[in-house]
Structure 1
């Protein structure tokens, strides 16, 4: 019985994570569209700034 419950919980978690990923991808596409085509500003430049070594 416990194995069945843990499998159901794992399946619910998997589905929730999948939906979250879809939502985040849609948000990223929306932000990219708002920035305009060919404009690389946005989350990519923020990540690049974050990953630069500090002086």
Structure 2
């Protein structure tokens, strides 16, 4: 039980910082996802719409 208490205390102290890091990671991941979606849409447009125009 002593070790459990120590672990829980460390966890409580670091919880806010862990949560902050986790929140930032999620924000960065969302930004990356949005960026990749935009890139994919641009690529899709280049592949499927420009050849049709040149035909």
TM-score where L is the length of structure 1: 0.63
* Structure 1 gap ranges (5+): 40-55
* Structure 2 gap ranges (5+): 1-12
1:23 aligns with 2:35: yes
Report which structure shows greater RCO (CA 8 Å, sep ≥6). Answer: 1
Structure 2 partner of 1:5: 17
1:11-54 CA-to-partner distances (Å, cap 9, x unmatched) read 000000000000000000000111123x7xxxxxxxxxxxxxxx
1:36 aligns with 2:26: no
TM-align CA RMSD: 1.4
Which structure has the highest helix share of the two?
2
TM-score where L is the length of structure 2: 0.63
Structure 2 partner of 1:14: 26
